[in-house]
Structure 1
C-alpha cells in the first residue's frame, strides 16, 4: 500500500514540475514575442509603399526607383549596425550580462532584415533587369558618401568653433594688455600729480 502512495506522489510531483516549467516557458516565449523590435519603424519602406499605392497623381518610375534606393540605404545602415551589435551582444551573453531572450530577439530581427533585403532585391528587378544584384552595392556607396559628408561637416563645425574660441582668447589678451597699459600709465601719472599738489 505504501508503494502505491509513493508512486502517486512521484507522478504527481512530475506533473506539477512539468506544469510549472510549462508556465514559465510560455511566459518566456510571450516576452520574446512581445519584445520591441531591434530597430524602430522603417520609414523609408513605408514611404516607398505609400508611393506605390499613390493614385492621384501616380508616382513616376523615377520617384519609385529613388524611394527604393533610399529604402535599400536604410537596410544597409541596419545591416552595418547589426554587425556591430552582434559582436557586442555575443560577448555580453558569454559574460552572462544579458539573457538568451535578447539574443533570440536579435536573431528574429536578423531574419526580418534578411526578408526585407530579399524584398528590396525583388522590387529592384521589377524596375530594371539585374538591378537587384547592384542596388545594395549602390546603396552602400551612397551610405558611405553620406557618412563622409557628415564627417566633413562635423570637422568644419569644429574648426569654426576652434577659430571662434581662438579669436575670443586673442580678444581677451588684447583687452588685458590694454588694461595693463592703462594701469601702468595711471601709476606713472599719479606721482607727478602728487608732486604738483605739494
Structure 2
C-alpha cells in the first residue's frame, strides 16, 4: 500500500479499535478521502457513521445506506452492519487505486461496470495480475508490490465477513485462513445499479431532511 492507503487504514483503525464505543464509518469511498497540503489522506463526511455493536452483540441492524459499489455483500443484503463492512469498502478503494478504475462505471461494457465483478476472474490466476494494474503505470512497478497490494485487497473483499482481516493488516495476531493466504475469487451481490443509486440518493435526502428538522 502507498502512504495514502496507510493513512486511511490508520483512520479506520482509530474508529474501530481506539474509539469507545467503536465507530463504523459506513461510507468509505474514494470521494470521501481528502488530501492535505502534504498529501496526507484524511477521512471526511461522517454523516452515515454508526456506533458499532456493544456487549455481546455481533452487529448493528440498520437501513442499508452508503454508496453502490462499496457496500459489503452481507450488509447490502441483510442490513447487518459490522466493522468488517468498512474492511470490504477499504478493499474496493485499494482495488480502485491499483487498477485506475472506478467502483462503478456505467460508461464501460456491462460486464465491466462493477469493479469487483470485473476483477473476480483475474484473481483466479496470478499470471493475470499484471493485467489488473492501471495502464497509466505502463508496467513500471515492482511485481512483488503489485502482488502484495492485490493480496490485501482480495482478503478485504472476501464474501464471508469473518474471513476479512482487521484494519491493522500488519497485526501479527492476524493469521488468514489457509484458503485465503493467496488471492481468491471474490463475489458481490447482484445489485441493479440504477435502482440502488436511486434508493441511496433517496435515503440520503430523507436523512438530511430529518437532521434539518431536529
Structure showing greater Rg: 1
Fold shared per TM-score above 0.5: no
Greater strand share, structure number: 2
- TM-score w.r.t. the length of structure 1 is 0.30
- TM-score w.r.t. the length of structure 2 is 0.29
Greater helix share, structure number: 1
